[in-house]
Amino acid sequence: MTRATILIPAHNEAAVIGRTLWYMSRGLDLGAMQVIVIANGCDDATAARARAALPQAQVIETATPGKCHALNLGYRSAMPDAPVICLDADLDVTAEALAELLAPIAAGRAQAACGQMDVDTSAVGGMVRAFYRGWRAHPYFTNGKFGGLFALSAEAAAQVFPLPEITADDEYIRRSFDAGDIAFVPGCRFLARAPRTLSSLVRVRRRSLRGAREVTRMGKATPDRGRTRAMLSHALRVPADAIPVAVFLMVSAWVRLSLLTMRAAPRWERDLTTRPEL
């Protein structure tokens, strides 16, 4: 396997960090892969559970919360001149999928790489399930899912790190490269869990939109144009997706409206419904 550093920022992820590390580490060449968990602003057992789940991992603890701060701390300890993988603490991905993700970077075909996110909707209600089915019709996914899990060449990582203190770190990094420099790797599949309630979904989407707008204000324009029109065209071509697309667009409009009416919003609106109580 290609040498690389895996950075896993984790804020109060005691409920899921063990699962993530266990799932990822099966078959992982720990001689080639450096795993760094950055427990940031935690008041739970995230760091202890990370050490117990994968003793070979380096666990960094900081009292300062913030994903970008955590990634910057981890990057300082990363292997020099080696690719960097950024992985959210609540995702399931295998060692084989990570090897697939690194392949185009190792071959010099790309500066960054992303895979295909699968979303587990088995424990959610009908509206949330319909939203994610409509979400799949979004043209953004033609080139994979750059978020939650992605890889950067050593040169690309040096270009974007240290990250500014922003909400949408993944969107900032994605927009820092031309589309032709980012490889979509269909063989790299990883699993996320959908928010279980509609209100939690709205909070997550609100944070995502707020973060994307912040990146736009920094001068990094979105490459995604004409998305609504493309989704409506898809609904006309695939009638079975018409209702899910309508649900997606309705929730998206609700999110935009809620941002307009909110006087202030917390910087981090995280989904707690996928993190069971311990």
- Give domain status of residue 272, yes or no: no
Burial of 145 (0-12, 13-18, 19+ CB in 10 A): buried
Tell me how many domains the chain contains: 1
Q: Would strands 84-87 and 33-40 be described as parallel, antiparallel, or unpaired?
A: unpaired
Tell me the three state secondary structure of residue 40: strand
Residues sharing a CB contact under 8 Å with residue 249, sequence separation 6 or more, in sequence order = 134, 228, 231
In a domain, residue 267? The reply is no
In a domain, 278, yes or no: no
Which segments of the chain have a pLDDT < 50?
Answer: 267, 278
Q: To 10 degrees, what angle do helices 227-237 and 242-261 make? A: 160
The domain spanning residue 28 has which CATH number?
Answer: 3.90.550.10
**231 located within any domain:** yes
Residue-wise pLDDT for 14-39, tens only, equals 999 999 999 999 999 999 999 999 99
Q: What does the pLDDT read at residue 138?
A: 83
Task: Give the pairing type, strands 145-152 and 84-87.
Answer: antiparallel
The reported pLDDT for the residue numbered 16 is 96
How does DSSP assign 55-108, residue by residue?
TTSEEEEESS--HHHHHHHHHHTSPTTS-EEEE-TT-B--HHHHHHHHHHHHTT
Residue 11 lies in a domain: yes
Domain-located, residue 273: no
The closest alpha carbon to 98, from 11, 34, 16, 12, belongs to: 34
Say how far apart CA 111 and CA 108 lie, in whole Å: 7
Closest CA to 159 of 103, 75, 216: 75
Residue 176 lies in a domain: yes
Q: Where in the sequence is the domain holding 249, given as residue range(s)?
A: 4-261
Q: What pLDDT shows up at residue 227?
A: 75
What local confidence, expressed as pLDDT, does residue 269 receive? Answer: 57
Residue 271 pLDDT: 67
pLDDT digits (tens, 9 = 90+) for 78-103: 999 999 999 999 999 999 999 999 99
Q: Is the pTM of this model over 0.75?
A: yes
Query: Is position 277 within any domain?
Result: no
Residues listed for the chain: 278
The Cα 156–Cα 145 span in angstroms is 18
